[in-house]
Amino acid sequence: MNRGQATLDSTYFMLFGDPDLGATADDYVGSDTTRQMVFVYNSDNTDGTGTGGTYGPSPPAMGFQIVRGPTGLPDGRDGDRDGMIDEPGEPLGLTASIGLANGLSPPQGHPRDAREMYHWMRGRWTDGTPITEGAIGLDGGGPPMPTMFPGDPVSGRYWSERCPQRPACGLPHTAGNRYMTAASGPFVLEPHVPMDILIAMPFGQGADHLDSVSRLRIAADVIHNAQNAGLLEAQRVPGFVGPAPPLSIELRRPVPNPFTDDAVIELALPAPASVRVALVDVLGREVQVAQDGPLDAGARAITLAGAGLAPGVYVARVWVAGQSAGALPVTRR
């Protein structure tokens, strides 16, 4: 939901994953644009030793699937796979993806601010350089494209991590610890109007690491068909009593933003309540707790301390009486 007062006319949604499929040093990632999915699979048929957090022989594959995306702007694509292009109310699917090895330097490194994160959401490298088909997606010799490794690793169809080069695939990539993203957009987000997005995490395990990719696709197709049949719509459980509605609070954006030393979030409570304010980085890790305890009614100021924070984009998450009350982006210079 857009909690601001202005219409956001070019909004993107993105999932970020550090999948660590068992052993972390032998993974590949890919995109399946026909199933609106990014996925991770093992580079060979043995993952670790089968002990601890590893799978051993016949490792599985798993994905992030955008089952029902946001209602998008016209883009000349069949986002919901119903045979019609850009019909009114058509939801978007997977429009951009990035799959990369950990620890790469710019232009492929981690986003450090909102602009660089926006590049990722549109299927560009951190510095805005277009992803290009071939090799690792940078100076690969092919045309620009927003989705990385959309080829078929099972059949060996170019372009995948198993088949990174034309004309005859060349050497497969060196396997390793991978990141992957799945983005959808652009779409318009009006003030205080919710936009529902349905995400699934399909899983498949077969006779070998590539058969697992085939079974993952079957699982993704089952999910897509269930969505089309209306089987994934929310259902109210008889007798279920939901939680009490959260207190209606006034919440203002951090000031200043960006900040160097400190930023202040102002909130107004209609009644005494327990309030928690935590700062989360782009990997979802909680890096600072600015407030955690009871506050009296009235206007209150919560300080986010800049000391010790690395420069980058964060989200200040606010809970009141144990329920989420907002998520405010903030940038540390």
Domains of the chain: 8-228 (no CATH), 250-332 (2.60.40.1220)
Q: What is the CA radius of gyration of the chain?
A: 22
118-152 b/e (C-beta count within 10 Å ≥ 16 → b): bbbbbbbbbeebebbbbebbeebebeebbbbbbbb
Tell me the two tokens of residue 53: 């957090």
pTM of the model: 0.72
- The CA distance from 189 to 213, in Å, is 35
Helices then strands, counting H and E runs in the chain, come out as 2, 17
297 with 270: CB under 8 angstroms? yes
- The CA distance from 254 to 316, in Å, is 9
Tell me the two tokens of residue 185: 């957009």
99 with 149: CB under 8 angstroms? yes
CA 231 to chain centre: 24
For residue 177, give the 3-state DSSP assignment.
Answer: coil
For residue 176, give the 3-state DSSP assignment.
Answer: strand
Tell me the two tokens of residue 216: 């993952």
pLDDT tens string for the chain (333 positions)?
Answer: 777 778 888 899 999 999 999 999 999 999 999 999 999 999 999 999 989 889 999 999 999 999 999 987 776 776 666 677 767 778 889 999 998 876 555 466 788 888 999 999 999 999 999 999 999 898 778 999 999 999 999 999 999 999 999 888 989 999 999 999 999 999 988 887 788 899 999 999 999 999 999 999 999 999 999 988 888 887 777 887 766 666 678 889 999 999 999 999 999 999 899 999 999 988 888 999 999 999 999 999 999 999 989 999 999 999 998 888 888 999 998
